[in-house]
Structure 1
Amino acid sequence: MQLMRYKAALAAAGLAATLGLTVTAVAQKAPTAKPKSVAVPKVIPGFDASAMDTSANPCDDFYQFACGNYAKLHPIPNDLPEYDQFVSLYEFNTAALHRLVVQAEHAGPNRSANQQKIGDYYQACMDTSLINKEGTAPLKPMLDRINDLTSKKQLPALIAGLNNQDVTAFVNFGSQQDLKDASKEIAVIDQGGLGLPNRGYYFRKDARSVKLREQYVQHIANVLHLLGDSDAQAKTEAKNIMQLETNLAQSSMGIVERRDPHKTYHIETVKAFAPTVPVLDMPEFLKAIGAPPISSLNVAVPGFFTALNKTIQDTPLSTIKNYLRFHLADSYASRLPEQFDQENFAFYGRDLTGTPQQQPRWKRCVNATDSALGDALGQLYVAKYFTPSQKKEALTMVHGIETAMGKDIEQSDWMSAATKQKALQKLHMIADKIGYPNKWRSYAKLTIKPDDALGNSMRARVFESAYQLNKIGKPVDRNEWFMTPPTVNAYYDPSQNTINFPAGILQPPFYDKNEPAAVNYGHIGAVVGHELTHGFDDQGSQFDGKGNLDDWWTPQDRKNFNERTSCIANEYSSFTDAGLHVNGKLTLGEDTADNGGVHLALMALMAREAMDGGHIGGPAATGMAAKYTPEQQFFIAFAQNWCSNMRPQMTRMLIQSDPHAPDAIRVKGVLDNMPQFDKAFSCHVGQPMDPAKKCSVW
């Protein structure tokens, strides 16, 4: 339940580094130039007067009013699928991280163990000369295992080995918090094996989807050709692989259905599950993957595995081998010779999201270092860029918004006293995590070398897999974070009942000590309220204060809740963008959080004003901001969270796969439902921003 999709979007665009492989080495080239320093991107101000189109009537189109000039002022860089507030800060933080990794790279013989790993990981990643020279040699052992397959009985151990390298061919095995006993970690096996974003991409019949499937088949063929297959052979194999993936997609659960936690929770004994999928030979699979001894596991999508057994039985071994070769290569593309890297970007960046060119190597290597060594790099980041005062102010705001949530629950006219009591109990049990974890992970057992880019990536993946598998059967570590400190995002974890705000997002424009309190509450306050509301949206509301999947609602209160969320779903389903209708059922959780988040942030702001004797607090507004009341500043700041410029292909991909509504709709959908907005801007019923029917959950 994350606030934004920016990292997923960058990954989909081939920007956050997918990896891959080659069978023949290419001619050696000069190494990629390492910039000694990079330009620090300009951070957009919290109240961005330049983005506003004040000729627009705020009661007709508030997004145009708050963000109408944004796209003209912020053309999309050629190496990005979109540009917005999140990407602006992401670019700023990437430049900051670059300074840290370069310092670690050149820190000398007395550098710390973490600096050695950070510096050497980055150095190896940047050494394209050596990467091109080595070709696919580092992947030869795994390629040989695939090529040497003579029987499907050998598949379980091979699939397990690939899974440990985050190549989720056919299945995805790992650990998770037990949804009904949040105190322990359990094993989980889930559907996997698709190269397109989700099952819907395999079956939509519109012209764009048909073309994208054709491009994906060509991408498969291109990768196989790079692995040494002839053009004709690669094209034939690619079609067979596409049919195999289509069969897997047919039995996969859709993204809307997967939002219901009950539908992906099915505890079975290993003994009972094994006969449903004999092709996996579960005892052999579990042994090969290195899982601790287990007697039961969560079979997330039982029907998938029944179908998987038949799919593997009916698919020729040659097709399975080519499928595994392709996914192994595509997974490691960015650590292989440049043809693989470029081919991976050509599909996942250019075809899927419309991004014209790949990000410079240094950016991708910085982000890859953060992904592999997040806690090590995070320690350096928070020491340099995150102060105790930032954490203190963030906590003050969080506590104020939690107080507002408590009042909102108490004042609810659709919940019974019994359910209110349970809701308040859950609210008071929420743990607030700000900035960075209390305890840092150790990377002592992870070997990083300055001249082994692919090996570093492989070892980092295996290290992470072992870390996750080692949790099985143990108590849950409630201090663990699932984002690195520099991340420009935030999340709510229903199984741990925590809200988490990495240091990376607690920076301008989302939080700026030089801005009026009204602006900060519109920015980061709405973010805090958003994550808090996730604990009480259609998914989070099914979990209790301890993180257990438990029905704590009376039947009538749940009915009342569902009626209110249905109003939200129907509202958002009526919106369109890029010629597509928003799927209100897919975006329901995020839409509910957006609506509740702004409402709670405004409540907290008004409470702060009342407590301070009518003074909102913070620096006085200056410039154009001073022309607006604090309430108006709040709503403008909220809307400017979502000022963006996005490529049409990216918009389509997100509507079809992302649980967040498009940016302009995130603004309109919320403000359509807020009488406080209507009052602040003197809007009247019947104007576009003040519909007669309004939806409200929190």
Structure 2
Amino acid sequence: MSLKLLARAVWAPGALSALLLTGCATSPQQPPPPPPPAAEAPAPQATKPSGVEKKNFDTSVRPQDDFYRYVNGGWAQATQIPADRARYGTFIELVDKSEAALKDIIEEAAAAKDKKAGSDTQKVGDLYQSFMDTQRIESLGLEPIRADLQKLSELKSVDGLPEVFAKLNREGVQAPLALFVGQDAKDATRYIVYVTQSGLGLPDRDFYFKQEPRFAEMRTAYQAYVEKLLTLGGEKNATAAAKAILDLETKLAGKSWERARNRDREATYNLKSVAELEKLTPGFSWSRYLKAVGAEKTPGVIVRQPDFFQAMVATMKATPLPVIRQYLRFKVLDAYAPLMNQEFEQTHFAFRGKTLQGQQEIRPRWKRGVETVEGGMGEAVGQLYVARHFSPESKKRMEQLVANLREAFKQGIDQLDWMSPATKAQAQDKLSKFTVKIGYPEEWRDYSKLEIAAGDLVGNVRRSSVFEFQRDLDKLGKPIDRKEWGMTPQMVNAYYNSSLNEIVFPAAILQPPFFNPEADDAVNYGAIGGVIGHEISHGFDDQGSRSDGDGNLRDWWTAEDQAAFKKRTGMLVAQYSSFNPIDTMKVNGELTLGENIGDLSGLTVALRAYQLSQKDQAAPVIDGFTGNQRFFLGWGQVWRTLFRDEYLRQMLVTDPHSPGPFRVNGVVRNMPEFYEAFGVKEGDGAWLPPEQRVKIW
């Protein structure tokens, strides 16, 4: 999720741990599921398919012991990760489907005759063709970025860095600081500039310091990658330069905040005037930087990590100018390598795809071409995607599901035994002010000011980055745009935005196994209902709960309620921190806390909504499963994922979501209804003593 959205996505690139798969065996004979609880019998006749994908089960495992493997183990044994993927599962299956649909749309635009100059059709078609024209890309060699590299070589002193950093920011090239425009977290009625730490070429600060062999190997591989790119870029002493760049990034990493700390919305809210910023970092002109980047209209600057910027400026002052030039030249080479000739492209993939994530092959060129068009003109192709692949009926059904989930959350707040009436009233006020967006935007993005030229791939991508950056800057001084979307309709994802207090569900996630209009309600409530509940719950997780119904960051809790909340979330941190997906690495319970709250609270609310939808009528038994059993099966099957070890290690360091198995097993073992549905007893693998089970919302 882009940082500038200040949003949380339900989707994580999670995966099933190889350790959990060891020893799995498929059984062709399915034992009957546990008997339905008495409360759900007698059952009426089923009228719809269950939506349960029994072919994916591993019935050598009992649901009471490892629910995730029971639901997904057979699929895991029968599935291989595609060579061009670092992970594979339900999300990637839908991504592949979305990509295939977009390919048709984009290739039609590329093949269209008599395209009107300046039209979206012309721009989409020419952007795609510029990526697919490998003959021209090969012939250009280094030429598309030669001027950029030369200009950086002419940097006279560190005094020139504000303008250099501003140019890189606008063009989408990494620099030691990043800037975005968003709503002021403590005054959600206005837009303001945020600045945040950046500049590291490895995925996270921990990659520079962890001593385990795999991380040491990655540092060695990274230095070799830097050297190779610099050599291709014409650097004469690339070996020494690569070592110096790694040393510089290690210094920056040492002062970078850890990801768990970066989740703290109070700690990262540091409102400064330009004069205060200049005083914070003497030697770096923020007034010149803001002018060069085009952000002079900002009413202030919110600095997310003040001490990092102090250290960054000091580090740049202490670094020899030739090393700074080499570092910045490498950032340009790294940014544009995937868009250049085969030698650059393969060098980039060998490290960023194969070494870091375990991909065996680079993705087919047409898929990368589609991805490039999505990055530059996502809503232009999204408008056509929606027209062809999203029905009004699906939107209407989702609206009803969301309404039911909101009612269930409302009732859940009233029933909490650990929250005072005063805080409940504030929570209810916030819930009543939620905005819901489903499928696609009401107003589509205007790309008329974006220039796309045939045969100019690097220029097209650069201009796309500048266009998006300027579009954000243009918000400064204007009213809040409440119709804007932070995702395209074709993205398989969903998010909650705390400043707008909104939940958003793009069209592409509203497909089986998440949402099946033809299936029984139970599976839909367990799948897409769980996703809806997850996003609603983000408004009430450890960070989202710090904002009120108007999107302002303020404390609306009593001290006693906050203490009770932290006690429960602390138990959840401890639970997830004990999970060991690979090697000696464990889930970071602090980093993943918000998403784990979203999963547990979201599924709890979804179950309540499902039960309310039954209106005291017994749910039918379908395919041998009761309504509540199908509900949990619906949740379990959407998280099936396989992934490569390299990717899992990176995920555990960088991703705020837990791996797939724990998004299932870590949740259901806290829900008494799961124990009842599947007859879980003390001694079973899913058993937690009642006093250790967590309920938050």
Same fold (TM over 0.5): yes
Structure 1 residue 295: deviation in Å? 5.2
Asked if 1 retains the 8 angstrom alpha-carbon contact of 2:270 and 2:302, the reply is yes
Determine if contact 2:14/2:651 at 8 Å carries over to the other structure: no
Match of 1:156 among 154, 162, 166: 162
| Structure 1 unmatched ranges of 5 or more | 9-44
In structure 2, the partner of 1:652 is 649
Task: Spell out, residue by residue over 1:639-678, the C-alpha distance to the aligned partner (whole angstroms, 9 max, x if none).
Answer: 1111111111111111111011111111111011011011
Q: Aligned-pair distance for 1:246?
A: 0.8
Q: Deviations over 1:576-620 (max 9, x none)?
A: 111211111111000111101111111111111116x4457xxx9
Q: Measure, in 2, the Cα distance between the counterparts of 1:293 and 1:354.
A: 44
> What is the distance in 1 between the residues matched to 2:272 and 2:441?
34
Q: Which of 377, 380, 383 is 2:384 aligned to?
A: 380
Query: Residue type of the partner of 2:435?
Result: A
Larger mean CA deviation between 103-112 and 460-469 belongs to 103-112
1:446 corresponds to 2:438: no
Counterpart Cα distance in 2 of 1:632 and 1:370: 39
Among 588, 606, 613, the residue aligned to 1:608: 613
Find out whether 1:459 has 2:456 as its counterpart: no
The 3-state SS of whatever aligns with 1:484 is coil
Q: Within 1, Cα distance between the matches of 2:400 and 2:103? A: 31
Q: 1:677 aligns with which of 650, 671, 674?
A: 674
Give, in whole Å, the separation in 1 of the partners of 2:680 and 2:654: 34
- 2:614 match: secondary structure: helix
Q: CA deviation at 1:497?
A: 0.5
Render the CA deviation track for 1:448-488: whole Å, top value 9, x for unaligned: 11211111001000111111112223222111111111000
Q: Does 1:130 align with 2:127?
A: no
AA of the residue aligned to 1:82:
R
Alpha-carbon separation, structure 2, partners of 1:685 and 1:479: 50
> Higher relative CO (CA 8 A, sep ≥ 6), structure 1 or 2?
2
Structure-1 residue corresponding to 2:25:
none
Instruction: Pick from 220, 223, 229 the counterpart of residue 235 of structure 2.
Output: 229
Tell me if the contact between 1:292 and 1:469 (Cα under 8 Å) persists in the aligned partners: no
Aligned-pair identity in percent equals 40
Mapping for residues 90-489 of structure 1, pairs under 5 Å: 90-110=95-115, 113-230=119-236, 233-294=237-298, 296-489=300-493
Q: Which runs of 5+ in 2 are unaligned?
A: 1-7, 16-49
Match of 2:21 in 1: none
Equivalent residues of 2:526, 2:603 under 8 A apart: yes
State the one-letter code of the partner of 1:96: A
Distance 1:525 1:97 in 2: 27
Task: Give matches, 1:452-531, under 5 Å.
Answer: 452-531=456-535
Conservation of the 8 A alpha-carbon contact between 1:353 and 1:653: yes
d(CA) in 1 for partners of 2:454 and 2:273? 45
Instruction: Give, in angstroms, the shift of residue 280 of structure 1.
Output: 2.7
1:168 deviation in Å? Answer: 2.7
- Separation (CA, whole Å) in 2 of partners of 1:91 and 1:56: 30
Residue 607 of structure 1 aligns with an amino acid whose one-letter code is: L
**How far apart, CA to CA, are the structure 1 residues paired with 2:13 and 2:379?**
20
Residues 1:134 and 1:279: Cα distance change in structure 2 (over 3 Å): farther
In 2: Cα distance, 1:54 partner to 1:337 partner: 50
Q: What is the distance in 1 between the residues matched to 2:299 and 2:484?
A: 26
Counterpart AA for 1:68: G
1:80 matches 2:79: no
Matched, 1:666 2:663: yes
Q: Name the counterpart of 1:64.
A: 69
Bigger shift: residues 647-656 or 468-477: 468-477
Q: CA deviation at 1:55?
A: 2.4
Matching of residue 5 in structure 1 with residue 12 in structure 2: yes
Secondary structure of 2:267's aligned partner:
helix
In structure 2, give the amino acid aligned to 1:654. Answer: M
Q: Is the 8 A contact 2:259 2:591 kept in 1?
A: yes
SS of equivalent to 2:680? coil
For 1:437 and 1:380, the matched residues in 2 are separated by 12
Return the alpha-carbon distance in structure 2 between the equivalents of residues 215 and 286 of structure 1: 36
Following the alignment from structure 2 to structure 1, what is the Cα–Cα distance between the partners of residues 281 and 321? 17
Relative to the length of structure 1, the TM-score reads 0.91
Aligned residue for 2:9, secondary structure, equals: coil
TM (norm. structure 2) is: 0.92
Q: Distance in 1 between matches of 2:439 and 2:93?
A: 19
Seen in structure 2, the aligned counterparts of structure 1 residues 228 and 397 have a Cα distance that, compared at 3 Å, is same
Change (3 A) 1:89 1:99: same
Distance 1:137 1:394 in 2: 50
Give the alignment partner of residue 582 of structure 1, picking from 562, 578, 587: 587
Question: Deviation at 1:7?
Answer: 11
Contact 2:14-2:641 within 8 A present in 1 as well: no
Q: Partners in 1 of 2:547 and 2:217 — Cα distance?
A: 41
Q: Mean Cα displacement is larger for which, 530-539 or 270-279?
A: 270-279
Q: How does 1:498-577 map to 2 (within 5 A)?
A: 498-577=502-581
Alpha-carbon contact 1:565-1:588 (below 8 Å) kept? yes
Q: State the SS of the aligned residue for 2:238.
A: helix
For each residue in 1:355-377, what CA deviation from the matched residue of structure 2 results, as whole angstroms up to 9, or x when unmatched? Answer: 11110010011011111101111
Alpha-carbon distance in structure 2 between the residues aligned to 1:103 and 1:238: 44
Aligned length: 653
**Distance of 1:323 and 1:643 partners within structure 2:** 40
The question of whether the paired residues in 2 share the 8 Å contact of 1:46 and 1:523 is answered with: no
Cross-structure match for 1:14: none
Give the Cα–Cα distance (whole angstroms) in 1 for the partners of residues 299 and 426 of structure 2: 34
Identify the residue that residue 691 of structure 1 maps to in structure 2: 688
Which secondary structure does the structure 1 equivalent of 2:178 belong to? strand
Quote how far apart the aligned CAs of 1:278 are.
3.6
Q: Which amino acid aligns with 1:123?
A: Q
* Separation (CA, whole Å) in 1 of partners of 2:258 and 2:536: 26
Alignment match of 1:643 (pick from 632, 640, 645): 640
Give yes or no for contact 1:432–1:498 (8 Å, CA) kept in 2. yes
SS at match of 1:256: helix
Query: Quick one: which amino acid aligns to residue 3 of structure 1?
Result: V
User: Distance between the aligned counterparts of 1:598 and 1:88, measured in 2?
Assistant: 23
Name which of 51, 54, 64 aligns with 2:59: 54
Q: Distance in 1 between matches of 2:60 and 2:313?
A: 62
Look up the equivalent residue of 1:675 and give its one-letter code. Answer: P
Deviations 1:195-236 (A, max 9, x none): 111211111111111111111111111110111224xx2111
Q: Contact (CA 8 Å) 1:519, 1:634: kept in 2 or not?
A: yes
Amino acid at match of 1:337: N
Looking at structure 2, the residues matched to 294 and 668 of structure 1 have their Cα atoms a distance apart, in angstroms, of: 46
| Counterpart Cα distance in 1 of 2:478 and 2:355 | 43
- Tell me how far apart the structure 2 counterparts of residues 353 and 649 of structure 1 sit (CA, whole Å): 5
Secondary structure at the aligned position of 2:387 is classed as helix
Matched AA of 1:229: E
Over the aligned positions, Cα root-mean-square deviation in angstroms equals: 1.7
Offset at residue 174 of structure 1 (A): 2.3
